[in-house]
Amino acid sequence: MKFGFFDDLNREYVITSPKTPYPWINYLGTEGFFSLISNTAGGYSFYKDARLRRITRYRYNNVPVDMGGRYFYIKDGDTVWNPGWSPVKTDLDNYSCRHGMGYTVISGEKNGVKAEVKFFVPVGFNGEVQKLTVTNNSGSAKSLKLWSFLEWCLWDANDDTTNFQRNFNTGEVEIDGSTIYHKTEYKERRDHYAFYTVNADINGFDTDRESFLGLYNGFGEPQTVKNGKPSNSVADGWSPIASHYLEIELKDGESKDLIFLLGYVENEFEEKFAPDLTDNDTIITTANSRKNIVNKRKAKEMIELCNTSEKAEKLFEGLKKYWDAVLRQYSVNSPDEKLNRMVNIWNQYQCMVTFNMSRSASYFESGIGRGMGFRDSNQDLLGFVHQIPARARERLIDLAATMLEDGGAYHQYQPLTKMGNHELGSNFNDDPLWMILAVAAYIKETGDISILDEKVPYENKDELADTMLDHMKRAFYHVCTKIGPHGLPLSGRADWNDCLNLSCFSDKPGQSFQTFTSPKYGDTGYSKVAESVMIAGMFCFIGPEYVKMCRIKGDNEEAEKAQAEIDKMSRATMEYGYDGEWFLRAYDDNGNKVGSHENEEGKIFIEPQGFCVMAGFGKEKGAHLKNLGSADKNFKSKHGLVLNNPAFTHYYIEYGEISTYPPGYKENAGIFCHNNAWIICAEAFVGHGDKAFEYYSKIAPAYNEEISDLHRTEPYVYAQMIAGKDAPRFGEAKNSWLTGTAAWNFVAVSQYILGIKPDYEGLTVNPSIPAEWDGFTASRQFRGGTYNITVKNPDHISQGVKTMILDGKVTAGNVVPDLGEGEHTVEITLGK
């Protein structure tokens, strides 16, 4: 069952029912100010850091789920309704929600009155614009009453949800004309405030939640709306809100635009407060605090930029042009409409969002528990680097600065402070390798090898700064010098799969599987026996990138030394990591095999299979093909590839969290879409284009639109997990939006299936497509040039470049060199 449709021309998903199976959301903002908005206008806003600069409040795990947001209440006679249906839930005569690139348009109609709200965050702007257009098509004049509403969060989202004994006493606001300012804690330690304004004279306001709603009412039944008049409340502690009240007269056929703006401002310390006020000033604020009036100069400058419909639309056009430029970097026209939709629009859009958010703020991530993940952000960059390389470079430097002197890294950091998260710490032993892969991706995309000479701190301490190449070196040796009894890398706290905890041995509730380790390990924090075959595969797949960096910088001696470590690891993996038909997952702390035919449950895991194939393990003996055959046999289901098989049915203390999930959910034999991509890449790598595309089309969201009632999450973006074949809810998705699935599946389809892959020397074109395709065309912007690529497949094979014609000249091989600025034509013919 569908709840909307794709509008590819406008790059929108159009939702036609407010009652989606789960709230379907969008993200507004590109750099500093961000908003989450659902199809019923739920969600919240923050500046840079969803924990430390939360601007509006949202309640996770609420009933109903999507409660709290930015709402407009319309009272037409005795009828009260919202353009987005919620929270009043009055049945609408018409409803739609159009989620686009960085904007959402919600439209509702009731009794001949149409209200449409366009929500967006302009580029380079620290505020959310809400353009409300009210139109009277009823056949007679209308007298309407309108209330806006949002609820302020008291900045630190964690403190806001826990420290009630303090927070119920701190709320402060100012009302200056049509603008409501939130200034809690401003007079003391903070240098920032928020505001909510409208470009019209208001007939009243409310800034105290209890006064607006009534003590025993929810968002769907505000007392002031029921009474038909505001209370003009001034928040003094308790829970501050912002609500404007306007009375609107409309003739039949008449429309009125109102521009609301939710903004964020930071002031220098010496400019925090306004100059002395005069008796003519009409600012309303908390009692006895008129001497602490905020300096509103920056807020008024922001308001001036969008206080008319024309100005707001100009900002909106700027946003659309921004996305035109971003999505122009890579586009394809293939025989498959859904693949085009994913590659050209939605997958790239999700890659931007995951780059901005990491795993911090979605409807499944509260923004409190996690900041920016180290491995997460490095992987997210793989799908983003072609969009805005300069921002990718900045992110790489931020990430490298969280590395430790031994080549490890803080597993997370806060985006506002850019400091490592000490509570979680390090010892996730896959982390360093992702840094090498991300830096390599940046250099391949841009040709900018100067980043290797950039001086970057360790642990954000300038006195410890060294070159980025030194960071790569320490990352490389952090892996191959921390090895176990079989010469394989130690797992550490976890090795990408944060739920396979071989050093934890937790038997008490409340112990974190990621940070608690058995006391027997002492100061090391993890086992010196538990080894990861997955990290071994990653090391031999990613390690050669470090070797190449060394050669680029002229250090051939170091390159040879590093290559010897890779060769050594490759031999150890084939001797101790291959189980006869597939690769092991690990060795546990007792030295026993994990992911082996010898195990009763969890005989085979998906993670090492793809990386070990891409690393070239067993190719000379055909083991790589046998391995992929085993993956197909053991993991395949109609909704995607499961993570392990058979599922665990009881708790294995030596494995940790993975065996705590019921069979078929999350890491316990769920369809973890992130690592499906590694098998897709591996199948394409060996030339199995049909199989690669089969796997891709099972999890790419556009292909699941028809089963939205089962799938539940958004049909335009990937989810982290789909319930596996062992689960009662087989096919149901969770954890949408913020997942490494976005970047890795873009890599899988754009670089492996379509085969257009940046490399140090240029663009490699090596498609691995369904044999039935006649070919495809693509446009790829690369290092200042535009490459218009045509792939022909007259023999209907999956892989194999027979000829390449570059700018009209037959050229050997399949590597398109950097030809500089301008347009270039590339014609590839597949054949044997």
Token pair listed for 615: 């690393």
Q: How many CB atoms lie within 10 A of CB 253?
A: 10
CB 570 within 8 A of CB 617: yes
The CA–CA distances, whole Å, from 116 to 17, 39, 466 equal: 15, 13, 54
Length of the chain (residues): 832
Q: Is 643 exposed, middle or buried, given 0-12, 13-18 or 19+ CB atoms closer than 10 A?
A: buried
B/e letters for 802-832, b = 16+ CB within 10 Å, e = fewer, are eebebeeeeeeebbbeebeeeebebbbbbee
* Rounded Cα–Cα distance for residues 269 and 192 (Å): 10
Token pair listed for 283: 């600012």
DSSP 90: P
AA identity, residue 20: T
Token pair listed for 357: 């958010």
Torsion angles phi and psi, residue 579, rounded to 5: -100, 10
* Rounded Cα–Cα distance for residues 41 and 23 (Å): 10
In the three-class reduction of DSSP (H, G, I as helix; E, B as strand; rest coil), residue 224 is classed as: helix
* Rounded Cα–Cα distance for residues 793 and 334 (Å): 12
Displacement of CA 273 from its chain's centroid (Å):
37
CB 797 within 8 A of CB 831: yes
DSSP 613: H
Strand partners of residue 132 = 117, 258
Token pair listed for 362: 């979605």
Q: Annotated catalytic sites, by residue?
A: 498
E-strand ranges in 531-647 read 531-532, 586-587, 593-594, 604-605, 636-637, 640-641, 644-645
* Rounded Cα–Cα distance for residues 804 and 812 (Å): 7
CB 573 within 8 A of CB 534: no
DSSP 261: E
